[in-house]
Structure 1
Amino acid sequence: MARSKLTKFKEIAESNIVIEPGKPIFETIRGNWNEEFFNNNHDLVVEIGCGKGDYTIGMANLFPNKNFVGIDIKGSRLWKGSRLAQEQGLTNVAFLRNFIEQISQQFSPGEVSELWITFPDPRPKKGDEKKRLTSARFLDIYQSIVKPEGLIHFKTDDLDLFQYTLELLQKREAKNLRYTFNLYESDLQHHTLGIQTTYEKRFLAEGQTIKYLQFSR
């Protein structure tokens, strides 16, 4: 392992805004995010597969009276996000290092007010369907931790993944489902808060359209 990675993982281990296996709070945080970490009773917003935390940090700046948690398994990505949050003096941000399929161990039913899925790996192979972050098993996990009527948002550039997700939600009769195949030509644009991830900026520069949907439990 390169020295730079060793340094990053050491900083993550010492960071008070990154929660990961091995830290005592990792085992006790479920149901206690506001009491044990944020020390307030504000709404809790989660970003799934947050990468470097573009959305998490962007939302935290826009809404200082909400709490935000970015989740990813890649330590080097969370290192970048946590550094940015600290440099910007944000006190309403945390990062959780864990596999997405295990997050119900860190969030209790209805603890999350809102959830974002931003530009996940499309996993185009048919055999990888269960690994898609919008597959049925993952949707069940999200809906188990989001409070009733809490919104779940999904942004992607990938048409196949978007159609797959939309069809799945329609079959499940998802409540309050709204969607667009071209975000920046739709009246749903304001729902995405004007935040663009690094990937999104790249896709737009390549002339791709951004797809977006939202639904509630």
Structure 2
Amino acid sequence: MGKNKLQKFDDMNLYPHVFQYPFSILQNEGFDMKGKWNSIFFKNDHPIVLELGCGKGEYAVGLARKYPNKNFIGIDIKGARMWTGAKESLQSGMKNVAFLRTTIELITYFFSPGEVSEIWITFPDPQMKKVRKRLTSTRFMELYRTILKPNGIIHLKSDSNFLFTYTCEMVKVNHYPIIFQTEDLYHSGLKDDILNIKTFYEQQWLDRGLTIKYISFICENRDRLIEPNIEIEYDNYRSFNRSKRSENKEKNKFLNKD
């Protein structure tokens, strides 16, 4: 591991708004702020919004600046990336943003039922071969539904036609109410300055001439979710600078850390 990455990890261990909990600790001790994020950390009753797979935290920080009456939490397993948003928000003195280093599969260990108002999923890996790993699969919808308030909102921004098509079909077969849906966000006519916050990866896709897909929908409670049965053509390009081997190595190391 490079010296720069080690320094970032050392920094985040001292940041008061960054929380890092390996699975072994969660199993044995739990998370003491579960159900108490508003009262213990944010010290207000404002809505909580999550950015899943937050990377550098562009959305968590950008949204927190635009909406001081909401609380934002960026979640990712990649601590070195998260450091960028964590440092920026700390230096700016922002009180309505936090970061949580964990895998999204463990999200229910950190939030109680109905504690979260909205979820943003920004440019995740489309997981074209592994449906259970897709962040908009019914498996993850079950997790989100557990922590979302009634009529909680989910947003997806993606460069991937595969993931967008899959998500739209998942929304359709489960009869989730759609708020907005477009295959070309920046030519859709949607007047919403929130959507103009661009992540590191998003700008790369735009520079390559790719269109950005967006859908937002209400994650209503369902007795049973239906996994869509649809054949979708794979994306014919690869993500920038994403090493699955190194990412999985860091994920396993973090989960097994005492």
Normalised to the residue count of structure 1, the TM-score between the two structures is: 0.93
Partner of 2:153: 151
Stretch deviating more after TM superposition (176-185 or 91-100) = 176-185
The one-letter code of the counterpart of 2:36 is N
Structure 1 stretches of 5 or more lacking a match? none
Stretch deviating more after TM superposition (17-26 or 192-201) = 17-26
Question: Residue 35 of structure 1: CA displacement?
Answer: 0.8
Going from structure 1 to structure 2, the CA distance change for 1:196 and 1:26 (only over 3 Å counts) comes to farther
Equivalent in 116, 122, 134 of residue 112 of structure 1:
116
Equivalent in 208, 214, 222 of residue 212 of structure 1:
214
Going from structure 1 to structure 2, the CA distance change for 1:61 and 1:6 (only over 3 Å counts) comes to same
Partner of 2:76: 72
User: Is this contact kept in 2: 1:183–1:189, CA < 8 A?
Assistant: no
Stretch deviating more after TM superposition (89-98 or 184-193) = 184-193
Over the residues paired in the alignment, what is the CA RMSD in angstroms?
A: 1.8
Question: Residue 10 of structure 1: CA displacement?
Answer: 1.4
Question: Residue 143 of structure 1: CA displacement?
Answer: 1.8
Question: Residue 192 of structure 1: CA displacement?
Answer: 3.9
Q: What CA distance in whole angstroms lies between the structure 2 residues aligned with 1:191 and 1:175?
A: 22
Partner of 1:9: 9
Question: Residue 175 of structure 1: CA displacement?
Answer: 2.1
Partner of 1:49: 53
Going from structure 1 to structure 2, the CA distance change for 1:78 and 1:113 (only over 3 Å counts) comes to same
The one-letter code of the counterpart of 1:3 is K
Find runs of 4+ consecutive structure 1 residues off by over 6 angstroms. Answer: 22-26
The one-letter code of the counterpart of 2:5 is K
Structure 2 stretches of 5 or more lacking a match? 220-258
Give matches, 1:2-41, under 5 Å: 2-21=2-21, 27-41=31-45
User: Is this contact kept in 2: 1:19–1:26, CA < 8 A?
Assistant: no
User: Is this contact kept in 2: 1:110–1:145, CA < 8 A?
Assistant: yes
Q: Deviations over 1:27-86 (max 9, x none)?
A: 111100011111111111110100010000000110111110000011101211110111
Q: Deviations over 1:134-177 (max 9, x none)?
A: 11111111122111122110000110110011111111111235
> For 1:59, what is the secondary structure of its paired residue?
helix
The one-letter code of the counterpart of 1:104 is T
| Percent of residue pairs bearing the same amino acid type | 47
User: Is this contact kept in 1: 2:176–2:217, CA < 8 A?
Assistant: yes
> For 2:192, what is the secondary structure of its paired residue?
helix
User: Is this contact kept in 2: 1:20–1:26, CA < 8 A?
Assistant: no
Question: Residue 189 of structure 1: CA displacement?
Answer: 4.8
Q: What CA distance in whole angstroms lies between the structure 1 residues aligned with 2:149 and 2:171?
A: 18
